[in-house]
Amino acid sequence: AQSLKEAFKKDFAIGTALNSAQIEERNPRVNNLIVQQFNMATPENVMKSALLHPKWDTYDFTMADKLIAFGHKNNIKINGHTLIWHSQLPGFMRRIQSSDSVKTFFTDHIKTVASHFKGKVFSWDVVNEALNEDGTLRNSVFFQKLGENYVTEAFRLTQEASPNTELYYNDYNNEQPAKRAGCIRLIKKIQEAGVRIDGVGIQGHWHLGKIPFKDIEESILQYAALGIKVMITELDIEILPRNFQGAEVSQRMANNAESNPYPNGLPDEIQKQLADDYETLFKLFLKHKDKVTRVTFWGVNDGDSWLNNWPIRGRTNYPLLFDRNNQPKPAYFKVIGLKE
Ligand code: G3I
C-alpha cells in the first residue's frame, strides 16, 4: 500500500491531529503527506473554547473553518475537538464565579459551536478529560458549578444542536483499570439517561517500552460491550523520560542533554523498539478491528509533536511515524507491513 489510509481502509479510519500551519499552501510537503496518508483529522487546537470563543459574546470561526475546508477538499473527515474541557478555556472564564454564568457559558458554547459545525464535522469529542485517575469526576469548574450531571447534559445539548453527528467521550489513561471503571460508569449514566453516546476515545499517549497492551485490550473489550465504538484518538509514543514534575521541571529545563539526548538522531536500537511497539499496537487494533473504528496520531511528524514542548519547551522528541523531514520511519514500515 502507498499509505496508511489505503492499507487499513477495510479495518479502521486513520487520523491525525492537524494544526493551522500544516494546511497552509506554503507548506506543501507536510500538506501532501496529510492528504496522502490520512482520512480523518482532529484539529489540534483551533476548535478549543479559548480559540473559538475569545469573549463572552464573541465567537471566531475563521481558523476552524479553514481547517474544515481543507478536510472537505481532501476527503478528510473532521472530528471536532472539543466542546467541554477544563483546559484551554477562554480567559474570561477565570473571572466567572456564579453557577448561573457557568451554566450560561456551557449552554451557549455548546449550542453555538455545535450548530455552526452541524453537517461539517463527522463527530465531536463532546467532553474531554472529565475523570481523575481514580475514576471519580475531576473537580473542574463544570463539576463544581454544574454538578455531576454536566457530562450527560453536554451530550444532550450537542445532540440537539447537531443531530447527525457522532458523539464521543475522550480521555487519557482510561485504559487503566480504575479510570476505565469510572469511564464505564460515566458512559452508562449517559446511556441510562436516554442520551446518545456513540463512542469512547482512548487517547493513547504512551511511553516507549511501557505500553500497557493488556489494559488496552481489556478496555477495547469492555468499552465495546457497552455498545459503542472504541477509538484510539491521540496516539504517540514518548521516548524521552517524563517522570519529573513541578519545581523539578524548571531545574531540568536548563539541562539540554536531557531534552535532547540524541543530537545525531535516534539510535538504531530505539528506532527499532519504537517500531516494535507500534507494530504490537497495530496488531492489537487489527485483532479488534470490529470494535476499533479509528486510530488517530497526535501529530503528522516528529517536528510538530506537542511532546517537543511538554513538560518543558525545547525538547527533541520522536513519537510519531514520520520524521522531521516528513519521511517515514522504520515504525511506519513495520505498521504498514502488517497489511502486506
Ligand atoms: O498559539 C500560541 C502562540 O501564539 C504563543 O506564542 C505560544 C507560546 O506559549 O503558545 C501558543 O499556544 C500554544 C498552543 O498549544 C499552540 O501551539 C499553547 O501555549 C500550548 O499550551 C498549546 O498546547 C496544546 C495543548 O493541548 C494544550 O493543553 C498542544 O498543542 C496540543 O497538542 C495539546 O493537545 C491535548 C489534547 O487537546 C487533549 N489531550 C491531551 C493533548 C496533549 O496535551
- ipTM rounded to 2 decimals: 0.95
pLDDT for the residue numbered 244: 59
Atom of ligand 1 nearest to the CA of 306: 32
pLDDT for the residue numbered 25: 83
The DSSP bridge partners found for residue 159 are none
Atom of ligand 1 nearest to the CA of 203: 39
Name the closest-CA residue to atom 10, ligand 1.
Answer: 309
86 lines ligand 1 (CB under 6 A): no
Higher pLDDT, 249 or 97: 97
Q: Give the contacts of 141 (CB within 8 A, at least 6 positions apart).
A: 86, 89, 93, 96, 102
CATH number given to 4-240+270-337: 3.20.20.80
Domain ranges of the chain: 4-240+270-337
- The mean predicted confidence, pLDDT, of the chain is 95
Residue type, 164: N
DSSP 280: H
Residues 166-192: what's their mean pLDDT? 98
Which of 153, 166, 175, 234 is catalytic? The answer is: 234
- Grade residue 206 by pLDDT with cuts at 50, 70 and 90: very high
| Cell representation of residue 321 | 511515524
pLDDT for the residue numbered 265: 85
pTM for this predicted structure: 0.96
